[in-house]
A and B are shown apart, each in its own frame.
Chain A
Amino acid sequence: MQHKPNEQFKSKLEKFVNDNFEDKFLRKNFLNRFNSWPSSKIESWKLSRLGKLSRKEISPLLPNESDFDKNIKFLKRSYSLVFYDGIYRESLSDKLPENIEISFFEIKELEEFLNKCGNQEILSHPTLNITASCAKNYLKIKIKKNFSLDLPLEIIQYGGDSKHSIHPLILVELEENSALNLIQLYKSSSALIAPLEIVKVGKNSNLEIVKIFDDSDYCHNLSLTIKIIEENSECKSFNLIKGGAFSRSENHVFLKGESSSVDLNGVYLSSDDQHHDLTSVIYHNVPNCRSSQKVRGVLNNNSSGVFQGKVVVEKNAQKSDAHQMSRVLLLSDKANSNSKPELEIYADDVICSHGATVGELDEDQIFYLLSRGLNKEKAQHIMIDAFLTEIIEDSINAIYLENIKNETILGFKKILET
């Protein structure tokens, strides 16, 4: 069967945009740039196991306006924003304090943001173009100047069905001197979810993001996050990828202000035929910035895992400090791991390093535990837990550390069972 979902999808997309949006002319820019469905011919998708995705027939979902009545929360004490079928549902969400503003924004603002990134490569990204074309609306969450939210903000993505794609588009903006802890939970049942998130961190601000990928087992998640970080600001993010058939968390970070820093850590836990993928590009645009990436993966059965991390240090970005470390545990001979840590450096006064290791659980350590009377599963548990805990404790705020740890334990218990 010769399917060409790329062309099919593009025509579906065009029709969808024409039929449903008044600002369709404004959306054309993105629509026209969507010319390539992710394919292994493109370097940045070469390592992704795309087979199933390209065989799927998908069309964008026209979201159902009626709300479903289910109260969902991840953390007990938090402000929740609930998205269903890719759109924000106010009636299901918590009321927010005054200094957080929820509004809709125009396509123009997205284009201005992309201009500010000043990067051509990103403009051809499939997620950007699909989702900017067919997102029902563009939602902005703004944290006002000098404000720190007292509880974590959580955004939960639900809904969708096995034939359609959904397209949430969110802009998170932190004005100067503000702080936010953000948890994003993907629990979609769609064939494809292509979340586009735009993050602006203003001067002297502090953002922490935890993303949990836990979609249904046939779902493809092509998350794309683009961040601009200004002077003296810090953005720490952590990805826990465990669900879905194919989950890719892709981050493009622009360190635009001096003395800014970014952490992009992550854990993926994969089994069966799952494909999990952490891809990032970090641009050191100005001097004195710091970036760090620590990734741990555990792969069982037929699964595959990818870490692609690229650090670009631009010409005048002296005193850049950039580190990458990826460590992967393979629990099965059928699993495969691909790493591609990449450094592209145009300034001379820098300290950059990367490392990658792939291997199995240490036999000596397992044997030591067995000799102390533990059974093999228990020994594996202990070792994997230790392998992951280090990075989780390093990345996660104490407020919800236990919750994330529990999610992680559930995740690796599941991959060990199968």
Chain B
Amino acid sequence: MVATSETIKKVRDTTKKYKYGFTTNVNVEKAPKGLNEDIIRFISSKKSEPKWLLEWRLMAYRKWLKMEKPNWAKVDFSDINYQDIYYYAAPKQKKKLESLDEVDPEILKTYEKLGIPLTEQKMLAGVAVDAVFDSVSVATTFKEKLSESGVIFCPISEAIQKYPQLVKKYLGSVVPVSDNYYTALNSAVFTDGSFVLVPKDVKCPMELSTYFRINEQNTGQFERTLIVVEDSGYVSYLEGCTAPQRDENQLHAAVVELVAMKDAQIKYSTVQNWYPGDENGKGGIYNFVTKRGKCLGDRSKISWTQVETGSSITWKYPSCILMGNQSVGEFYSVAITNNAQQADTGTKMIHIGKDTKSTIISKGISAGKSSNTYRGQVQIQKTANKARNFTQCDSLLIGDKCSAHTVPYIAQNVANAKVEHEATTSKISDDQLFYCFQRGLDSESATSLIVNGFCKEVMKELPMEFAVEAQKLIGISLEGSVG
């Protein structure tokens, strides 16, 4: 079929592969390469941190030294040389920024190119953005408007200065320092990230968003996000990420902690589009992220939605610990892998409180010679009377060189709880493709349409602004995968 390959070639030539692959020239201040206690002291003093935090970091570092990297995931990569990474890189700035206008214009331009204008008049109405550039937060928008309603939204480094008691209380309370190898590393060296506090009875008036960008070479990004929503509060939080196209692998080891009090709700959405590496698997981001939420209060709810299209390796399990009675955990995920990408992603739902409920919907799409694994755990503990879980995970295979794996663990320890799990793996049916062809769609648009349909249940959970972007992203991610 000559015409098919021609069409595909044309599409390939005319569409850019990874459109966020550019780099920005800014003056950067870096700590020397490598990791030791002095580097940690350097980071801590750069940020004028209180002593307890430095101690905490050092404690984490010492634990990390004794830990081993996890090897149970279905991902394969050569060992990371932790001494060959910069742990601190920050755009140089002479004095403290008073307003957005003082941000380095190069950085503002970068975000504009990424579709995230930081100047308030141009911004998406109703979304407040915290922009993290390499190791530090460069801008947070709509701060004042938020503070009117009592919501705190700022870089975590600022929160450490302004609200040390709050940070101290919750930091590490959901994800313990030594939870795993990467959380210990992150705790030792995290540089920035976002902090959100929604006080009692406040519904956050706008979507909050953090946009992560890795720019510098050989730099790891270790951000730390902490979101606390007090009784009956509500927040919807979005997270986006990109990185320049580079031949070496860069490490992103973030920790996100969510705390929901009585009747509080947190909706956390991610569109992850880190540079995935080239067709042969060269370069790309190692995305080793620990995200966990604690439904501390009764009737609280935490909902994770993720669209994972980037990174060369994804190792990520946004989880919920359902402690409060009648608390609810949700996980909606689309993970697409193409070329040589590897993803091992899923969730953990730990049911502790009575009448707790969790829903897991996972859609995995693998194309090229990629490998895509759903790994999930549903644990019903003895105290979780009448707990309920429903899990649906579907995998779609495009091409015969990729692989798809499903590994759910289901542990139930109480009789009156109910756990249901369904999973399927299949390819796009020839009948569906032919039907679309007959209506004039070429194979790329037909595939993109069918795959978007396959992901619909998850996509509809995304906030509007993100949903459109994510839909396009799915099409782009699959380019070159059919034929």
Chain A residues within CB distance 8 Å of chain B: 43, 47, 315, 318, 328, 330-333, 335-360
Contacts of B422-436 to chain A: CB distance below 8 A? 422-427
Q: Nearest chain-B residue to A338 (Cβ)? A: B411
A-B contact pairs, 14 of them (CB 8 A): A332-B415, A333-B415, A336-B413, A339-B408, A342-B406, A345-B405, A351-B426, A352-B424, A352-B426, A354-B406, A356-B408, A358-B380, A359-B417, A359-B418
Q: Are A355 and B415 in contact (CB under 8 A)?
A: no
Q: Are A331 and B415 in contact (CB under 8 A)?
A: yes
Stretch at the interface among B15-23, B142-150, B302-310, B391-399: B391-399
B56 interfacial by beta-carbon distance below 8 Å: no
Picked from B72, B395, B409, B418, the residue with its CB within 8 Å of the CB of A358 is B418
Q: Nearest chain-B residue to A363 (Cβ)? A: B416
B419 interfacial by beta-carbon distance below 8 Å: yes
Cα A34 to Cα B381 with chains together (Å) = 35
Which residues of chain B have C-beta atoms less than 8 A from A331's C-beta? 415
Q: Are A335 and B397 in contact (CB under 8 A)?
A: no
* Given the contacts A357-B419, A359-B417, A360-B416, A348 and B409 also touching, CB distance less than 8 Å: no
Picked from B402, B407, B415, B417, the residue with its CB within 8 Å of the CB of A348 is B402
Q: What string of 1s and 0s marks CB contacts (under 8 Å) between B107-124 and chain A?
A: 000000000000000000
User: In whole Å, how far is A274's beta carbon from the nearest beta carbon of chain B?
Assistant: 16
Q: Is the interface of A mostly helix, strand, loop or mixed?
A: strand
Q: Are A348 and B413 in contact (CB under 8 A)?
A: no
Q: Are B415 and A338 in contact (CB under 8 A)?
A: no
* Given the contacts A43-B72, A340-B407, A349-B427, A357 and B421 also touching, CB distance less than 8 Å: yes
B219 interfacial by beta-carbon distance below 8 Å: no
Picked from A339, A350, A357, the residue with its CB within 8 Å of the CB of B426 is A350
Q: Are B399 and A348 in contact (CB under 8 A)?
A: yes
Q: Are A336 and B423 in contact (CB under 8 A)?
A: no
User: In whole Å, how far is B372's beta carbon from the nearest beta carbon of chain A?
Assistant: 10
* Given the contacts A340-B408, A342-B406, A347-B400, A357 and B420 also touching, CB distance less than 8 Å: yes
Cα A71 to Cα B42 with chains together (Å) = 82
Which residues of chain A have C-beta atoms less than 8 A from B409's C-beta? 338-340
Which residues of chain B have C-beta atoms less than 8 A from A356's C-beta? 408, 410, 419-421
Q: Are B412 and A350 in contact (CB under 8 A)?
A: no
User: In whole Å, how far is B156's beta carbon from the nearest beta carbon of chain A?
Assistant: 36
Q: Are A339 and B400 in contact (CB under 8 A)?
A: no
Q: Are B72 and A345 in contact (CB under 8 A)?
A: no
B208 interfacial by beta-carbon distance below 8 Å: no
Q: Are B411 and A357 in contact (CB under 8 A)?
A: no
Contacts of B158-178 to chain A: CB distance below 8 A? none
Cα A343 to Cα B372 with chains together (Å) = 11
Cα A351 to Cα B413 with chains together (Å) = 32
User: In whole Å, how far is A412's beta carbon from the nearest beta carbon of chain B?
Assistant: 16
7 closest Cβ pairs, A-B complex: A330-B415, A348-B397, A359-B418, A352-B425, A356-B421, A339-B410, A343-B406
B414 interfacial by beta-carbon distance below 8 Å: yes
Q: Are B419 and A348 in contact (CB under 8 A)?
A: no
Which residues of chain B have C-beta atoms less than 8 A from A359's C-beta? 417-419
B89 interfacial by beta-carbon distance below 8 Å: no
B321 interfacial by beta-carbon distance below 8 Å: no
* Given the contacts A315-B400, A358-B419, A343 and B405 also touching, CB distance less than 8 Å: yes
Picked from A333, A337, A342, A346, the residue with its CB within 8 Å of the CB of B403 is A346
B251 interfacial by beta-carbon distance below 8 Å: no
Cα A7 to Cα B156 with chains together (Å) = 52
Q: Are B412 and A348 in contact (CB under 8 A)?
A: no
Which residues of chain A have C-beta atoms less than 8 A from B404's C-beta? 343, 345
Apart from A348-B397, A350-B397, list 7 A-B contacts with CB within 8 A.
A340-B409, A345-B395, A345-B403, A346-B403, A348-B402, A352-B424, A357-B420
Picked from A315, A332, A344, A354, the residue with its CB within 8 Å of the CB of B423 is A354
Q: Nearest chain-B residue to A323 (Cβ)? A: B424
Q: Are B408 and A337 in contact (CB under 8 A)?
A: no
User: In whole Å, how far is B375's beta carbon from the nearest beta carbon of chain A?
Assistant: 10
Cα A328 to Cα B418 with chains together (Å) = 10
Q: Are B421 and A341 in contact (CB under 8 A)?
A: yes
Q: Are A355 and B423 in contact (CB under 8 A)?
A: yes
Interface centre among B408, B412, B413, B421 (most CB of A within 10 A): B412
Q: Nearest chain-B residue to A360 (Cβ)? A: B415
B382 interfacial by beta-carbon distance below 8 Å: yes
Q: Are B410 and A338 in contact (CB under 8 A)?
A: yes
Cα A355 to Cα B395 with chains together (Å) = 14
Q: Are A350 and B414 in contact (CB under 8 A)?
A: no
User: In whole Å, how far is B70's beta carbon from the nearest beta carbon of chain A?
Assistant: 13
Which residues of chain B have C-beta atoms less than 8 A from A355's C-beta? 420-423
Cα A333 to Cα B398 with chains together (Å) = 44
Which residues of chain A have C-beta atoms less than 8 A from B415's C-beta? 330-333, 335, 360
Cα A331 to Cα B415 with chains together (Å) = 6
Cα A303 to Cα B271 with chains together (Å) = 43
Which residues of chain A have C-beta atoms less than 8 A from B426's C-beta? 350-352
Cα A330 to Cα B427 with chains together (Å) = 36
Cα A150 to Cα B419 with chains together (Å) = 44
Cα A351 to Cα B397 with chains together (Å) = 11
Picked from B380, B399, B407, B424, the residue with its CB within 8 Å of the CB of A353 is B424
